[in-house]
């Protein structure tokens, strides 16, 4: 049988459509909906079994972690071998700490187990069941969606039709957001906790705050603790507008960070934490470099 060019093109398109439909079915079949805890402090937590233990423990689900971490005390208590080599330094918003390392398998319900080389140091959490942080080693493995309202992590998720480019900054997602009409490439950090509420707080550097015209008397001043326990004062200014992934986010404010830790770096701009992301129910695809918002508003 011979095919005309038009018939060949039609058959090719039909075949591609069928392949795409089959791919969607395969993804839907393996999609997992993992329960999440989004607590009163604004911390996002997921249950996992570590090192073959029967009882699950909690980890912070943290897109802002280029490397996963575990409490050194808890790692020792469950028999994990902690070593000096492979540790190094960890940089956070409050400064830099020296760390050790340990390796262990981690299993989350419905998600393929993964062997993770953790940093290990003196982590402490308000939640007594929380032992550490799960970051880039897990999250780059499949597209996922965080349903803050549903309290669910959707693994192997299908991203919305409308997405925006997402780059990885040392394994940490970065997307372009528009603040007061000015585009800024901000990190996306689900490890940045803030008590849930109607207001949306963005963290920016002092230099970016000046570009945004955030001057004069702040609407509030927050207190925080820096490296070595030094107190930090964080002025808060109201934003005229905030848009992320094509969504306008109302009641937006900016927390201005002093030059400490990550914010002392020359390439630091700022980040979107849970106080913004819980209005978006975001979806991530690390492999394709795409980010989308799936919330109703």
> What's the confidence (pLDDT) of residue 21?
45
Q: Per-10-residue mean pLDDT for the chain, 297 residues long?
A: 52 51 46 95 95 87 94 84 68 62 91 92 87 95 97 96 95 97 98 96 97 96 71 94 97 95 90 98 98 83
> What's the confidence (pLDDT) of residue 234?
96
- Which residue segments constitute the domains of the chain, with CATH numbers given? 32-153 (2.40.70.10), 160-293 (2.40.70.10)
Residue 60: φ, ψ to 5°: -70, 130
Look at strands 167-169 and 172-179 and give their pairing.
antiparallel
Q: pTM (2 decimals)?
A: 0.84
> What's the confidence (pLDDT) of residue 25?
44
> What's the confidence (pLDDT) of residue 256?
97
> What's the confidence (pLDDT) of residue 15?
53
């Amino acid at each position: 049988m011979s095919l005309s060019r038009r018939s060949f093109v039609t058959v090719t398109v039909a075949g591609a459509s069928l392949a795409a439909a089959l791919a969607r079915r395969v993804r839907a079949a393996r999609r997992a909906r993992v329960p999440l805890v989004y607590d009163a402090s604004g911390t996002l937590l997921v249950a996992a079994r570590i090192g073959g233990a029967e009882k699950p423990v909690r980890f912070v689900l943290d897109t802002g972690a280029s490397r996963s971490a575990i409490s050194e005390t808890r790692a020792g208590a469950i028999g994990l071998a902690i070593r000096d080599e492979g540790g190094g330094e960890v940089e956070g918003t409050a400064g830099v700490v020296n760390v050790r390392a340990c390796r262990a398998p981690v299993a989350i319900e419905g998600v393929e187990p993964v062997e993770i080389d953790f940093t290990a140091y003196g982590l402490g959490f308000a939640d007594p069941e929380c032992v550490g942080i799960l970051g880039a080693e897990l999250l780059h493995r499949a597209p996922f969606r965080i349903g803050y309202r549903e309290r669910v992590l959707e693994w192997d998720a299908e991203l919305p039709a409308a997405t925006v480019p997402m780059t990885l900054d040392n394994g940490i997602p970065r997307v372009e957001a528009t603040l007061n009409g000015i585009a800024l490439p901000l990190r996306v950090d689900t490890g940045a906790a803030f008590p849930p509420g109607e207001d949306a707080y963005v963290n920016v550097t002092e230099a970016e705050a000046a570009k945004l015209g955030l001057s004069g008397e702040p609407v509030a001043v927050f207190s925080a603790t820096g490296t070595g326990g030094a107190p930090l004062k964080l002025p808060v200014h109201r934003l005229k507008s905030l848009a992320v992934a094509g969504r306008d986010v109302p009641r937006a404010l900016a927390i201005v960070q002093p030059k400490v830790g990550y914010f002392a770096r020359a390439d630091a701009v700022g980040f979107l934490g849970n106080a913004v992301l819980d209005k978006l129910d975001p979806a991530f695809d690390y492999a394709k470099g795409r980010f989308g918002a799936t919330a109703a508003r």
